[in-house]
Amino acid sequence: MARVTRRRAINAEQRRCQPGEPAEVLEESLVVDQVSPAAERGVAGQSARREHERRRAKRENAVRSAHPRLGRLMLAVSEEPQSTAAWARGAVGEEKLGARLDSLVSSCDQQMGGHRG
């Protein structure tokens, strides 16, 4: 685990003080997991895929909670909202573009003798 300190300004409204007073700076310590080198580099389409899954799960939970007996049937016969489906399509597009860019970088590296940077 790594400790990250961030600073944020608190304005007068948040402190319930008189307007015009200077902002107070608070330091907050956050504990975050170490980020793996692969995650730092990123994977094309990964965040869009996560957003699609998050939206789909939220919709499923809402429908099943509102309709315990018919929720599964309602989900089976209805289509995903366009806004949710767009995240899935965007993820596929990012994955394809990322794969193409990776292949271009690899071919350029080979032409330059394997030097990156």
pLDDT in tens, 16-60: 555 665 555 555 555 555 555 544 567 889 999 999 999 999 999
Q: What is the pLDDT of residue 32?
A: 53
**Beta-ladder partners of 27:** 7
pLDDT in tens, 64-89: 999 999 999 999 999 999 999 999 99
- Count how many Cα atoms sit within 13 Å of the Cα of residue 69 in the half-sphere of its side chain: 0
Q: What is the pLDDT of residue 45?
A: 92
DSSP labels for 59-101? HHHHHHHH-TTTHHHHHHHSPPPHHHHHHHHHHHHHHHHHHHH
